[in-house]
Structure 1
Amino acid sequence: MNKARQAFSMLGILFLMSVLLLACGNTEEPAAGNAGAVNAGGNTAAGAAPSTEGTDNGAEAEAESAARSYTDYKGHTVEIPVHPQRIVYSGETYGDLVALGVKAAGYPLSMGEGQVFEEQLQGVEDVGFPINLEKTLELQPDLIIYAGTEESDFEALSKIAPTVIFNTFAPLEERMTEIGGILGKTEEAAAWLARYKADEAAMWEQLKAAGMKPGETASVFTYYPGDRLFIMAATGLSQVLYGENGFKATPPVQKLLDEGTGFEEISLEVLEQYAGDRIFVLTPVADEAKQSTESMLQSEIWKSLPAVKNGYVYTQDIMKTSSDATTREWLLQELPRLMNAQ
């Protein structure tokens, strides 16, 4: 799952600049005080003629074109739409938008393959990964939400539309509150979080009634290609397991959580140090990693673990354990089924 971002090609940059320069040459400059207030059709609020269709339509159009100042977590201050209409989203947690009832105009569709929210991507245009500048420009977004951290990427995308860099690895509550504000869905985000917390509490009560003991520990392992074994910490399924009223982490995993580490590579020889009372194995995508997983499951080290001897081992498709809000919501229903607690 190499998410390394490649440099944008010079051809893409030249194409982008030529189109933008052409557009600038054919567009009147917006009146002072309204710079950056762009509606979904690309017209400035200052340049738009007063509506003659009635005050309701005029008020609606004005609300859609309104802009506000926003500072992203990398320190960029940008004028963004109060109610964005055409969003290009490039990041790991598209399910956050789905949970808030928002469909993007563009998204790297390869990142959604096999995800819980995959069906919700119908009708969304593919902007590629790394993000394709020409395709993004073609979609005429009024807001770009980007998970990358390269300044060159930010500058290139900012020439297309207002762009913010979003921390898709932030904790769920922090992330949903932030994305709700960006999308003009603050109330919806707060309501979703309230429902999620209630459903999460109910799930833990269900698992405890089915035999989960206070203080039980849990661990999550997965293989990557190259025979690389990883212990998962502050990401994906672990974020659900180690939630309030949930499982405890073993001491080595707790150290990773305290450091904010998402995952760490370990050797099979130290597996016992990380293994909890219950073990979750994430089934990888690559065949090579699947073979490594099978070799681990047949090893004497694995068979000697208490969780294995007690039958407390559970497997789940790694693509169904992402950190996004839609997947997190789905996992609240999936965990009891996985652990035979229904």
Structure 2
Amino acid sequence: MQNKFRNSAVVLTLTTLSAFLLACGNMAETPVPTSENKSTSSVNQAGEDTGSAEQTAADEGKVQQTRQFKDWTGHNATIPVTPERVIYHGEVTGDLVALGVIPVGILRQEGMVFDDLVANAEDVGFPFNVEKALGLNPDLIIFSNNDEEQYSQISKIAPTVTFNSFASLEDRMRILGDMLNKKQEAEEWITANKTATAEMWKQLHENGLKEGETASVFTMYPGNRLFVMAGAGLPQLLYGKDGLTPTDEIQKVIDEGMGFAEISLEKMTEVAGDRIFILDPVTDDAKQSTKELMDSPVWKNLPAVKAGKVYNFSIVKASGDAMSREWLLKELPKQMMQ
């Protein structure tokens, strides 16, 4: 039941954060399997009524090679060697974009750093809109969910693989690189990201960041609920090599395999680090709660607040995907070095 709720809700994080919080809590429960590269060849024969996507390829006289791919939840799916019309349904679309793959269908969220690059992609919605997906003639659907009932319906449209969007960024890029026949591009991106990340932290340390400084990431959820984030998105960058350190209370959350924890306002005094990062929410009521938080005596008396070491980021832009990571590597120094 827990996993089913997690996966039905996870995409709602794109507009409300709720599923982001729920999904992060299950990160430790779902190991990331590696894909299998057992390649086989098959031919879509012209004139054979095997579905609109295959028919289109056949009509154009194309020969499409396929192979077996073992996905996140253990399905052995037969997928194209080089997918050309991909639908990605999940919250890390930027991973595909960073590999040079622009999906024909996505779960759209306005305000991402790569909006212009996916402007022509169709929004397949939440829940997944089967009719829209059919009209896109996909040759591969990547489904960031482990709900078997939904998988069964979606996999009737086109070859479908499940994908753990809460795996580490490097793991995701390698899995997608394999899945999309972009292995070289994935390794090049990983290498470039490691170099850029190291250079960013070097720059920050040269400009006042001290070894061992702690950091906390907070966000407000509708209903005046305060959360400290630990295991996805911005924290993955902050708590990486050469970076900032989680406070003891946040480390406990991480050690428990949880991506977040709801806390009281009073608890902030124990959780807040030397530097505080606020993820600005999307909904109006959560925005109002954030304002009330910052007007509170507890907030105003935090050492980081008094020292002017508070940084605000849009929760949409400071996402965990590869394109957002590239943006954060440039934006983080801008804010921290002001």
| Short-chain TM bin | 0.7 to 0.9
2:42 corresponds in structure 1 to 34
Unaligned runs of 5+ in 2: 10-39
Structure 2 vs 1, CA of residues 4 and 81 (structure 1 numbering), >3 Å: closer, same or farther? Answer: closer
1:14 corresponds in structure 2 to none
| Preserved contact between residue 169 and residue 320 of structure 2 (Cα < 8 Å) | yes
Deviates more, 1:90-99 or 1:114-123: 114-123
| Preserved contact between residue 228 and residue 265 of structure 1 (Cα < 8 Å) | yes
Q: Distance in 2 between matches of 1:178 and 1:256?
A: 27
Structure 2 vs 1, CA of residues 157 and 69 (structure 1 numbering), >3 Å: closer, same or farther? Answer: same
| Preserved contact between residue 40 and residue 84 of structure 1 (Cα < 8 Å) | no
2:27 corresponds in structure 1 to none
Name the % identity.
Answer: 50
1:251 paired residue among 248, 273, 276: 248
Unaligned runs of 5+ in 1: 7-31, 52-60
1:285 corresponds in structure 2 to 282
Q: Distance in 1 between matches of 2:120 and 2:56?
A: 27
Q: Distance in 2 between matches of 1:174 and 1:326?
A: 15
Q: Distance in 2 between matches of 1:241 and 1:36?
A: 48
1:236 paired residue among 205, 214, 233: 233
Q: Distance in 2 between matches of 1:44 and 1:288?
A: 47
2:16 corresponds in structure 1 to none
**Correspondence list, 1:176-325, <5 A:** 176-325=173-322
Deviates more, 1:203-212 or 1:264-273: 264-273
1:16 corresponds in structure 2 to none
1:69 corresponds in structure 2 to 68
Identify the structure with bigger relative contact order (alpha carbons < 8 Å, sequence gap 6+): 2
> Which secondary structure state, in structure 2, belongs to the residue aligned with residue 5 of structure 1?
helix
Q: Which amino acid in structure 2 is aligned with residue 229 of structure 1? A: L
Structure 2 vs 1, CA of residues 284 and 44 (structure 1 numbering), >3 Å: closer, same or farther? Answer: closer
Q: So what's the TM-score if we normalise by structure 2?
A: 0.83
Aligned residue-pair number: 300
Deviation readout 1:163-203 (Å, 9 max, x if unpaired)? 00100011111111111111110000000010010000000
Q: Which amino acid in structure 2 is aligned with residue 104 of structure 1? A: P
Deviation readout 1:202-255 (Å, 9 max, x if unpaired)? 000110011000000000001011001000111111111111100000111112
Higher CA-based Rg: 1
Q: Which amino acid in structure 2 is aligned with residue 67 of structure 1? A: T
Deviation readout 1:75-104 (Å, 9 max, x if unpaired)? 111011110000011000000011111111
Q: Distance in 2 between matches of 1:108 and 1:153?
A: 15
> Which secondary structure state, in structure 2, belongs to the residue aligned with residue 269 of structure 1?
coil
Q: Distance in 1 between matches of 2:168 and 2:84?
A: 26
| Preserved contact between residue 229 and residue 235 of structure 2 (Cα < 8 Å) | yes
Structure 2 vs 1, CA of residues 333 and 33 (structure 1 numbering), >3 Å: closer, same or farther? Answer: closer
Q: Distance in 1 between matches of 2:85 and 2:280?
A: 35
Q: So what's the TM-score if we normalise by structure 1?
A: 0.82
Q: What RMSD, in angstroms, separates the aligned Cα atoms of the two structures?
A: 2.4
What displacement does 1:258 show?
2.5
